[in-house]
Homo-oligomer: A and B are copies of this chain.
Amino acid sequence: MAKLTTRTENYSEWYNQIVQEAQLAENSSVRGCMVIKPYGFAIWENIKNILDAMFKATGHTNAYFPLFIPKSFLSKEASHVEWFAKECAVITHYRLKNDPNGKGVIVDPEAKLDEELIVRPTSETIIWDSYRNWIHSYRDLPLLINQWANVVRWEMRTRIFLRTMEFLWQEGHTAHSTADEAEEEAKKMLMVYSDFVGNFMGIYHILGQKPEHEKFAGAVRTYSFEPMMQDGKALQAGTSHNLGQNFAKAFDVQFTNKNNQQEYVYATSWWVSTRLMGGLIMAHSDDQGLVLPPALAPIHLVVVPVFKTEEDLIAIKNYLGSALDTLKNSQITISSPTLGEWKMPVVVKIDEDSQKSPGWKYNEYELKGVPLRIAIWARDMAQGHVELYRRDTQEKQFVKIEDLASTVSSLLHDIQKNVYTKHQSLTETNTYKVDTYEEFKEKVESWFVLAHWDWTTETALQIQEETKATIRCIPFDSPEESGVDMITGKPSTRRVLFAKAY
C-alpha cells in the first residue's frame, strides 16, 4: 500500500504523488502534455458545469472559435505578441508522406504553408477578428461570449495541472459600448470566480488588482483572486481583464454609438483553467491524500461492506438499503450569490469488489478524497449502527442506522464549510504585515506578506530579483494607511500583497 511522502518532507513530491495515486492525471508520451484520467476529469467536469451555469446566469452564451491563429494576427496588438507569440506550437506543413526509405512517414516538403499557423495560446486575436463582422451598432452590444477550449503554450518546465503545454480552460470575451460597462463586466466576472472558488472549491482568496507591470498583455486593468497554497505560495489561477479599446483598435472593430458616431468597442476577457485542479489539490489535501469539498467530489459517500460470503453482502445491502435510497434522492445545497441555492445530487458508491481488502479500499478512497466513508461489518447490523469516517478531519463515529441519511447530509454541508474555514485560517494565520525589508525577506520566503510599496515597477522588480516574491495584487480590502516603502522609503498609502507564486 503506497504511503505518500509528507508535505514537510517534500511538498513538491507530495503533490506529484497525490496527482498520481488519486488517479487524477499523468504525463503523456508528448512532452509537457498531460492525460487527465477519469477520476480527475470527473472533478474538472464538476468545475466546468458549475462555472458554465454561472456564466449563463450572468447572461453569457458559449461559442467556438478556431484552434489555429494566423501568425500575423499575433503581432497586431503590440504588447500581446510579447507575452504570447514566443513560445508556441507552430504549424508549418499540412501533409505527411511515406518515407522513401520505407520507415514510416516524413513531412512532405512540398506541403508548406504560405503563412504559418499558431495553435492558440489564447484567443483574443482570432475572436476579435470575428467580432469585426458581428458588431456594427450599439444595438449589437454587449456581446457576452464564453468559450471552453484547449490552449497551448510551449512551456519548458511543466508540472501536471500547474503548468502544462496543453491545458483546458474557459475564456470569456465580451464587447461593450462604454468604458464603464467593460470595467463593470471585468469586476463582475472576478466576483463570479470568487463565488465559485470560495463557495464551491472551499478556497479562501484575496481579491485585488494587478499592478501595472503584472497585468495581462493588452489590458488596461487586470483583476485576480490569489489563494495561498499550503506551502505559503500564491497560485495565480484566474484573472479578469478590462482590455479597454486595445483589441478593437488592433482589429479595427468600430460601432455606431447612440449619438451616431463611430467609436472603438470596449472589451474584457477572463479565464480560469485546469490550473484550478492544482489549486484544489494544494489548498486542502493532507498527508493521507486528496481532500475534496463535497461540491466538487465525484463521489460523496463510499460504502465499504466487510463480508466473506455473498449472503453477508446481501444482508448488509438490505440493512443499508433505505438509508442509501434516501441519500441518493437527497441533495447538497450550496448558497451562491451567482446561482442562488445550487443543488446537486448526493452520489453514493458501494464498493462490492471481493478481490480487494477493506484496508486497501480505505486507503484508496482516502487518497481520492471521498468526503465520507461507511465501513460496515455483519456485527454492526446487530448493534444497529455503522462506522462513519470523515475525510477532512479523519474522525470516526458510530451512527445509528436510522440517523444515517440525515447525518451524512448534514456532515457533507459541514465538510463543505470546514474545508473553507480551515483554508481561511491557514491563510490568515500566515499573512504577515511587515514594515522592514529584513522581516519581509524572512516572512515572504514562506508566506504572504502585506507591505507598503512605492508604486514603482523598479522597486517591485528589485524585490522580485532579490526575494523571488512578486506583488500578487493590490487587495480591494487593503485599507488606506500611511506608510513608507521598505526599500526606498518613499511614501505609500496602502499595503499590497507580496508572495512567491506558482
Chain A residues within 8 Å of B, Cβ to Cβ: 26, 28-30, 33-38, 41-42, 44-45, 61-75, 81, 85-97, 104-105, 107, 116-119, 126, 129-130, 133, 139, 145, 149-150, 152, 154, 166, 168, 355
Contacts and interface: CB of A to CB of B under 8 A. Distances in A.
A38 B145 CA distance: 8
Which of A38, A42, A130, A145 has the largest count of B CB atoms less than 10 A from its CB?
A38
A174 to B, nearest CB: 12
B105 A28 contact: no
Could you say how many copies of this chain the assembly holds?
Answer: 2
Contact of A63 (B29, B33, B38, B75): B38
A96 B91 contact: no
A119 B91 contact: yes
Contacts of A33: 66-68
A493 to B, nearest CB: 39
Contacts of A63: 35-38, 41
Given A88-B95, A89-B91, 20 more contacts: A28-B65, A28-B129, A29-B70, A29-B73, A29-B126, A30-B117, A37-B63, A41-B62, A41-B63, A41-B64, A71-B105, A81-B104, A85-B105, A86-B97, A87-B94, A90-B91, A90-B92, A90-B93, A149-B150, A150-B150
A427 B65 CA distance: 35
21 contacts: A26-B130, A26-B133, A29-B126, A29-B130, A30-B69, A36-B64, A38-B61, A38-B62, A41-B64, A66-B166, A67-B152, A67-B166, A68-B89, A71-B96, A71-B104, A81-B105, A90-B91, A90-B94, A91-B92, A91-B119, A94-B154
Contacts of A129: 28-29
B36 A70 contact: no
A96 B90 contact: yes
Contact of A35 (B44, B45, B66): B66
A67 B33 CA distance: 8
B36 A154 contact: no
Contacts of A62: 38, 41-42, 45
Contact of A28 (B28, B90, B96, B130): B130
Contacts of A145: 38
A279 to B, nearest CB: 18
A105 B121 CA distance: 15
Name the 5 nearest CB pairs between A and B, nearest first: A33-B66, A75-B104, A38-B61, A36-B64, A90-B93
A66 B96 contact: no
A382 to B, nearest CB: 33
A226 to B, nearest CB: 27
A340 to B, nearest CB: 16
Contact of A41 (B61, B69, B117): B61
Given A65-B35, A69-B30, A129-B29, A74 B90 contact: no
Contacts of A166: 66-68
A326 B88 CA distance: 53
Nearest to A154: B94
A10 B41 CA distance: 45
A97 B129 CA distance: 23
A66 B116 contact: no
A96 to B, nearest CB: 5
Which of A66, A73, A116, A150 has the largest count of B CB atoms less than 10 A from its CB?
A66
Given A36-B63, A64-B168, A68-B33, A94 B105 contact: no
Contacts of A168: 64
A105 B74 contact: yes
Contact of A150 (B67, B96, B139): B67
A314 to B, nearest CB: 23
A86 B97 CA distance: 6
A67 B36 CA distance: 12
A35 B130 contact: yes
A37 B130 CA distance: 10
Contact of A42 (B36, B61, B149): B61
A28 B66 CA distance: 7
Contacts of A139: 355
A129 B73 CA distance: 35
